[in-house]
Chains A and B, each alone.
Chain A
Amino acid sequence: MRILLPFVTALAAAVSVQAQQLSGTGATFPAPIYQRWSVEYNKQVPSIQVNYQSVGSGAGVKNFLQGVVDFGASDAAMTDEEMTKSPCGAVLIPATAGSVVLAYNLPEVKNLRLSREAMAGIYLGKITKWNDPAIVAANPDTPLPATPINVAYRSDGSGTTFVFTQHLAAISPEFDEQVGFDKSVTFPVGIGGKGNEGVTALIKQTPGTIGYIEFGYAEQNGLSCAALENKSGQFVAPTPESGAAALASVEMPENLRVWPVDPAAPEAYPITSFTWLLLYKKYDDAAKLKALKDFITYGLTEGQSLATGLGYIPLPESVVAKANAALGTIE
């Protein structure tokens, strides 16, 4: 039987379509949903196997440009400069989206609200106590302790840091000047944890800590998240709905690369971002191209229904339509 097995598998493969392997590397943030898509899609179409390795956005772009993968993935998309370096062109496909939350550990405080001034002040090291007037002003009915604020950030380079600092730089000129934004920056205060799990551990461990992490992470770990003040002055808690409102508020440009850096809609959560799949413009192998297109089409349609359960935000219809159109241009 054991000797027969490879033979049978080979025969089955020859009779049906030849098994098609697709490999991709990139961002860690969307890895859970991509891997779930891969498993679910493989159940529907056993001949296609997608292997996604979460090595980080930077490494994803690197591998993509080296041409060693079939697709890449990045939270920071790709810069124009990077796109020109690609051997066979590059197409960005927004695949899913997520919010970055400010999770905190104050056992007695349930619904903390943070103004834009307070949020930037905390990460600039100017607001150091929980009962600072800037925080109290937004939480008149909540007694806040006079304890120091323990600031936590990502010590490793990360798309989460990119999205978070991009927002802070947009709302605070001082933050923009002093810290700026990127996948790894240097904050003037706080302690660094490695990965979402590292920051989550820092928050859980010490009362009085605040840190930025992915929404899904905060939810899984039951952390309280602050409601943040958005552009129209509303305090909005992170939910799939408020995230979707932020996504809907931006117009997708031609290259599909856009960040809702500071969404204006009153019900929009202020820190939300797309994450992208990186595809080449041309694939030599027609069978591979078809498999890749089929898989991504699955992700953009049926796959979106898995988003909410995993802590992501489903893409708005208009974005899906544009992403599908972009997918069609690949040959």
Chain B
Amino acid sequence: MSAPAAAKDALTAPVRTGPDYFLWLCGAASVGAIFVLGWIFFEIFQEAIPALKEFGAKFLTNATWQPNRDRFGVLPFLVGTAATSLIALLIALPPGLAIAIFLNEDFLPKPARQFIRFVVELLAAIPSVVYGLWGIFVVIPLIQQLGSWCAERFPNVPLLAGPAYGNSLLTASVVLALMILPTITAISRSSLVAVPRTLREGSYALGATRWEAIFGVILPTAAPGIVAATILALGRAMGETMAVAMLIGNSPRLSWSLFSPSGTLASLLANQFGEASGLQVSALMYAALVLVALTLAVNFAGEAVLRYTEKRTAGIR
């Protein structure tokens, strides 16, 4: 008998009997997670049935939300959710990615980079109600001034039309952008770190400049991670409730202007559920169902893109 085989025997020697409780525990935890998701879905769906029957698909295209008249349509909130999260992504993605690149290259000594990284990731630890308060005191006055200025200069541009409010779509988007910045930076950075050294060295060896190496080799290789970061950030922005409810102005009216009050699905739920009764409860549950479906769709899309890009870049890893 050779030495390694003996060692192996010694390791497996005490034969265990009885059921594998650890396996059971882990299995139960995973099944439990799936069960809870299903349960949530089922419960929301069941509560939403009266509204589903009453409004059907028109719920998504109808722009009036009047609880006292039992008229419910979530189009304004759907648009608000999409607009705030996309604008937030638009604002947060370039600086988020820039920070990630900056932290991954040796522009600064390592301790300084560690410090910046730590501070950016701390942004994720701030409770959303604090973001809301900060938005009220800092962002709202700024956006209001910007809005009035824009409304005066460009009265015919629908996106910038007045009257400009401080509690507006743009205010919510700006604060959301800050809230999703750490997500984008952290995940993009870890995917940049994962790019093999050999690739970078290879591109330098072929005479690429630093910028050519970053934009031509490193970023494309890290693309799946960056896409994942973007999707996760979008998901967070869509579901964010408290800060948005404090800043967006909670209006169920459709408007083109960035400076007009708006609403999102999450803020609608937070605002109206407590005092809702009758069909309104059911309509709110329908809205919740739409929100869950939307976030799930985004995550599925993210997963699909991630797999596709991973396959494409697999050859160079």
Residues of A at under 8 Å CB distance from B? Answer: 55-59, 61-62, 128, 148, 150, 155-158, 180-186, 188, 190-194, 198, 201-202, 205-206
Contact = CB atoms under 8 A, between A and B. Distances in A.
Contacts of A59: 274-275
Given A191-B167, A198-B246, A183 B136 contact: no
B274 A157 contact: yes
Contacts, number: 84
Contact of B275 (A156, A186, A190, A202): A156
Nearest to B69: A180
B315 to A, nearest CB: 53
A191 B253 CA distance: 10
Which one of B249, B251, B270, B274 has the greatest number of beta carbons of chain A within 10 Å? B274
Given A180-B68, A181-B68, A193 B250 contact: yes
A150 B267 CA distance: 21
A59 B275 CA distance: 6
Contact of B272 (A128, A156, A202): A156
Nearest to B277: A58
Interface string B137-174: 00011001000000000000000000101110000000
B245 interface: yes
B225 interface: no
A59 B274 CA distance: 6
Given A194-B271, A198-B246, A157 B166 contact: no
A96 B158 CA distance: 48
Contacts of A183: 67, 275
B274 A156 contact: yes
B77 interface: no
A168 B277 CA distance: 22
B252 interface: yes
A186 B66 contact: yes
B252 A186 contact: yes
Which one of A59, A191, A193 has the greatest number of beta carbons of chain B within 10 Å? A191
Given A192-B249, A192-B271, A194-B250, A186 B64 contact: yes
Contacts of B66: 180, 185-186
B165 to A, nearest CB: 6
A205 B68 contact: no
A188 B274 contact: no
Nearest to A187: B251
Nearest to A58: B275
A205 B65 contact: no
B275 A158 contact: yes
A181 to B, nearest CB: 7
Contact of A157 (B249, B263, B267, B276): B276
A194 B245 contact: yes
Contacts of A185: 66-68
B245 A157 contact: no
B261 A191 contact: yes
Interface of B: 64-69, 136, 140-141, 144, 163, 165-167, 245-246, 249-253, 261, 263, 267, 270-272, 274-277, 280
B132 to A, nearest CB: 10
Given A148-B163, A184-B272, 13 more contacts: A56-B274, A155-B245, A157-B272, A184-B68, A185-B67, A190-B251, A191-B165, A191-B167, A191-B250, A191-B261, A192-B263, A194-B270, A201-B136
B245 A202 contact: no
Which one of B67, B68, B136, B276 has the greatest number of beta carbons of chain A within 10 Å? B68
A72 to B, nearest CB: 14
Given A155-B250, A194-B250, A206 B166 contact: yes
Given A58-B277, A148-B163, A156-B274, A191 B67 contact: no
A192 B80 CA distance: 15
Given A182-B68, A194-B245, A205-B140, A188 B253 contact: yes
B141 to A, nearest CB: 8
A183 B276 CA distance: 8
B68 to A, nearest CB: 3
B274 A55 contact: yes
19 contacts: A55-B274, A57-B275, A62-B277, A148-B163, A155-B267, A156-B271, A156-B274, A157-B271, A181-B68, A184-B280, A186-B64, A186-B252, A191-B167, A191-B251, A191-B261, A192-B251, A192-B271, A194-B245, A205-B140
A58 B275 CA distance: 4
A186 B65 contact: yes
A205 B171 CA distance: 15
Contacts of B166: 205-206
A130 to B, nearest CB: 13
Contacts of B271: 155-157, 192, 194
Given A185-B67, A191-B261, A206 B272 contact: no
Given A190-B251, A194-B246, A205-B140, A150 B272 contact: no
A191 B271 CA distance: 13
Contacts of A58: 274-277
Contacts of B251: 190-192
A156 B141 CA distance: 24
A189 B185 CA distance: 39
Which one of A182, A185, A186 has the greatest number of beta carbons of chain B within 10 Å? A186
Contacts of A206: 144, 166
Contacts of B165: 150, 191
A78 to B, nearest CB: 11
Contacts of A150: 163, 165
A194 B269 CA distance: 12
